[in-house]
Structure 1
Amino acid sequence: MISNPTASSCEAYSSSVEGAPRQRVAILGCTGSIGAQALDVCRQHADRLQVVALSAHSRTEELVRAAREFTVPIVAVTDPAHAEDSCLSELPEGTKLLVGESALEELAVLPEADTVLVSVVGAVGLRASYAVLKAGKRLALANKESLVVGGDLLMPLAQPGQLLPVDSEHSAIFQCLLGERAEEIHCIWLTCSGGPFFGRNREELEGVTRAQALAHPTWNMGAKITIDSATLMNKGFERIEAAQLFGLPMERIPVLIQRESRVHSMVEYVDGAVIAHLGASDMRLPIQYALSYPERWETPAERIDFRTIGSLTFDAPDPEAFRCLALAEEAGRTGGTAPCVLNAANEVAVAAFLAESCSFTAIDACVAHCLEHHDARRVESLEQLHDIDRWARAEASRFLAGLS
């Protein structure tokens, strides 16, 4: 569990960078939705933030543009197939280029970086997150797979103020807990927009198309996370993350549909008081808070005029229609290596759906199959999780091949 997140708890950790002219930031996954918005935060607060390292998987032209704009001394391309892209010759003079997934771990431990934002998508982010914490650097975590798959390994490493969640919901919860006592929490209300298919039944979901699933009503995200939001697997992952971050069992982290995406989550205390975090639907807010904590900087987003909202609505999710939510709860309650299988199978199935080679409802069918055929055990090492991840991906691929 994250230690009581008060401003004072972070001061001791932050003392290592006090006196530096600017906080030095490495952004892993700089061309994705979160990474691009993080660069915008760095752009708006150039007097406080210095970008010292960047990584991209395959979008090398965007990487080069960012490296030139921020004069970044070291970058990484994690897809070796793009290591020879001609645009890389336009990197700033003297910029060092690393290649391959292992480069993420090299950037994670750079002496020049104070804070590392891990915003790559997928289980590949786990090793980088682990390396950041082992190196004693601040981890701004936007890779949910790190905690879903390897939370049992990461959380014991995190010192007070060292791990700052970037997910809007977990950032909201973190802020609702400021100055409060963990033992006085009754529950965490984890909010959810409901995605583009809120209100549909199981039969109506079977014919959902790729284009329909990518049309999220409020948030601008990458394709994989947008599909996870449509299936509600994203919210299932976030429940597991919240259990890891805040030390509560799954049953005390109910999901609450909040269609307007203005209430980003709430914490209810034993005396009946509920503290809610409200704000714009703009990921730059939690990104900036993870970089500025314990300070608050001028907002990068447009402010909300609460006089014009009209109303806020709340509802319950339908786990019968959106079975990924129930599968994530099953894996979270089982614990151990079950969430690793949940994540790996889901990644394979979502990729197949995006490639239009399986149906929308085949995603949860694939995940259910893999969980059913896995005997969960205690998490022991990164190597163990790697082996289980590989098994789950192979099993998911076999299952999907059998559907065609």
Structure 2
Amino acid sequence: MSKTITLLGSTGSIGTQSLDVARMHGYTIFGLAAHSRIEILQKQIAEFHPRYVAVVDEAACDRLEAELTGMADAPRLLRGTEGLRTLAAMDGPDVVLNAVVGIAGLPASLAAIESGHDLALANKESLVTGGHLVTDAVRRKGVRLLPVDSEHSAIFQCLQDQHSAKRLTKILLTASGGPFFGMKQDQLAGKKKEDALKHPNWNMGAKITIDSATLMNKGLELIEAVWLFGLPEDKIQIVVQRESVIHSAVQFADNSVIAQMGVPDMRIPIQYALTWPDRLPSPVPELDFAALKSLSFDVADEETFRCLAACKKAIRKGGLAPCAANGANEEAVRLFLQDKIGFLDIGRLVEGVVDSQSFGGDYTLQDVYDCDAMARAYVRAHL
């Protein structure tokens, strides 16, 4: 099945695994975008020969431009955040896959949708920070929003029977529990980035791995699920599934439950977003039930992991509260990775900004940016 893709965030974990899928199926890469890792990007250009490449960081863009000078069939180079948006909006691909990290992915998501592209979304912050902007644009333009996160892909897969989907009553959103599952606050107080970056099941980038350790990632995914599937927060239950084999499940009006299972490998949900509604052979091994032996379940500890509690509070408040939570978390994680704050400070600061205002009401894209800046300033002022 021939397909042409624009991949935003190509040098990160999701981006490189997306190219594994593209390589296996012979997909054409129309455009690639990265922030600053041009060494990886150059190898991708040499293999996939995109027509366009966007680099957000100006210094990295200058370095890549020098490397591309004189190169036969060199791609056209687009610069900065505007270049990222321009690439997302360009005619040519069948689907745009947005794997940019953080709120920086929101304008690219909107640009892709407004240009009439189907959007495979791995950038959960697009929905967390600008949920009504994204979903309104999807409805208005009549495009498809295809989830890439493993949990949301699992839910999406379980809802393919449209008649049954109308009887959805609960979402069971699974979590690995991260590296600190079962610990209490006194045990977490001295944890450093080296501890938090040791995820038990998934191979991910630094920011999302820290978010998994704090359970912020699960809070963001809960907010994303509200926008994607139309259920309120109190109908989405967080279930700790330590083996990361059940990726999520849904419950219907008759209390039957359907779950999606597979090995913990992001190439399954990436590929399903690109091939939907078809299923093709994937580069992922099959699930070996003989080796699996057992599955375990538990509940998420919101009293200890305050980021999750803060995200639930934020989506209940509505408006820009989720945006504030996300901005505070991005700033707090940045400071934690620089050893400037402690692990528990992340949850304290995220919860603090959510409690600081009411945040209700409609908003514009500029309001999103202003709220994000406010949340980051709140964190720096409350160290």
TM-based fold match above 0.5? yes
Q: Please point out which of 126, 145, 154 is paired with 1:163.
A: 145
Q: What's the CA shift string for 1:305-328, capped at 9, x where partnerless? A: 212211001000111111111000
Contact 2:320 2:360 in 1 (8 A): yes
Q: Name the amino acid aligned to 1:73.
A: R
Aligned-partner Cα distance in 2 for 1:319–1:302: 34
Aligned-partner Cα distance in 1 for 2:362–2:78: 31
Aligned-partner Cα distance in 2 for 1:345–1:373: 12
Q: Please point out which of 364, 373, 376 is paired with 1:390.
A: 373
Aligned to 2:43: 65
Q: Name the amino acid aligned to 2:38.
A: T
Aligned to 2:6: 26
Aligned to 1:249: 232
Aligned-partner Cα distance in 1 for 2:74–2:300: 52
Aligned-partner Cα distance in 2 for 1:386–1:374: 16
Q: CA deviation at 1:68?
A: 1.2
Q: What's the CA shift string for 1:218-256, capped at 9, x where partnerless? A: 001100000000000000000110011000000100100
Aligned to 1:150: 130
Once the two structures are overlaid, the 10-residue window that deviates more, 78-87 or 268-277, is 78-87
Q: CA deviation at 1:92?
A: 5.0
Q: What's the CA shift string for 1:159-197, capped at 9, x where partnerless? A: 566110000000000000111444411200000000000
Residues 1:86 and 1:164: Cα distance change in structure 2 (over 3 Å): closer
Aligned to 1:93: 73
Aligned-partner Cα distance in 2 for 1:211–1:332: 31
Aligned-partner Cα distance in 2 for 1:358–1:31: 28
Q: CA deviation at 1:384?
A: 1.2
Aligned-partner Cα distance in 1 for 2:75–2:362: 39
Q: Please point out which of 13, 20, 42 is paired with 1:40.
A: 20
Residues 1:86 and 1:72: Cα distance change in structure 2 (over 3 Å): closer
The root-mean-square deviation of aligned C-alpha atoms, in Å, is 1.4
The answer for unaligned runs of 5 or more in structure 1 is 1-20
Tell me the TM-score normalized by structure 2: 0.96
Q: Please point out which of 119, 122, 145 is paired with 1:139.
A: 119
Once the two structures are overlaid, the 10-residue window that deviates more, 335-344 or 180-189, is 180-189
Aligned-partner Cα distance in 1 for 2:341–2:256: 45
Aligned to 2:260: 277
Q: Please point out which of 367, 371, 374 is paired with 2:354.
A: 371
Contact 1:61 1:87 in 2 (8 A): no
Aligned to 1:177: 159
Aligned-partner Cα distance in 2 for 1:273–1:92: 58
Residues 1:345 and 1:281: Cα distance change in structure 2 (over 3 Å): same
Q: What's the CA shift string for 1:336-365, capped at 9, x where partnerless? A: 100010000000000000111100000011
Q: CA deviation at 1:25?
A: 0.3
Q: CA deviation at 1:370?
A: 1.6
Contact 1:61 1:88 in 2 (8 A): no
Aligned-partner Cα distance in 2 for 1:71–1:247: 39
Aligned-partner Cα distance in 2 for 1:317–1:113: 40
Q: Name the amino acid aligned to 2:33.
A: S
Tell me the TM-score normalized by structure 1: 0.91
Aligned to 1:341: 324
Matches within 5 A, 1:299-310: 299-310=282-293
Aligned to 1:120: 100
Contact 1:60 1:87 in 2 (8 A): no
Aligned-partner Cα distance in 2 for 1:380–1:369: 21
Q: CA deviation at 1:374?
A: 2.5
Aligned-partner Cα distance in 2 for 1:120–1:86: 19
What is the aligned length? 378
Aligned to 1:399: 382
Residues 1:180 and 1:362: Cα distance change in structure 2 (over 3 Å): same
The answer for unaligned runs of 5 or more in structure 2 is none
Q: Name the amino acid aligned to 1:44.
A: M
Q: CA deviation at 1:88?
A: 4.8
Contact 2:320 2:363 in 1 (8 A): no
Q: Please point out which of 181, 185, 189 is paired with 1:198.
A: 181
Contact 1:64 1:87 in 2 (8 A): no
Q: CA deviation at 1:86?
A: 5.6
Residue 320 of structure 2 corresponds to residue 320 of structure 1: no
Aligned-residue sequence identity (percent) comes to: 48
Aligned to 1:10: none
Q: What's the CA shift string for 1:132-171, capped at 9, x where partnerless? A: 1111111000001000011111112225661100000000
Q: Secondary structure at the match of 1:308?
A: helix
Q: Name the amino acid aligned to 2:146.
A: L
Residues 1:26 and 1:86: Cα distance change in structure 2 (over 3 Å): closer
Q: What's the CA shift string for 1:86-114, capped at 9, x where partnerless? A: 67524653411111011111011111122
Contact 1:188 1:252 in 2 (8 A): yes
Aligned-partner Cα distance in 1 for 2:203–2:367: 34
Aligned-partner Cα distance in 1 for 2:232–2:64: 50
Aligned-partner Cα distance in 2 for 1:161–1:267: 24
Aligned-partner Cα distance in 2 for 1:335–1:151: 10
Q: Name the amino acid aligned to 2:67.
A: S
Q: Name the amino acid aligned to 1:202.
A: Q
Q: CA deviation at 1:375?
A: 3.1
Q: Secondary structure at the match of 1:254?
A: strand
Q: Secondary structure at the match of 2:204?
A: coil
Q: CA deviation at 1:287?
A: 0.3
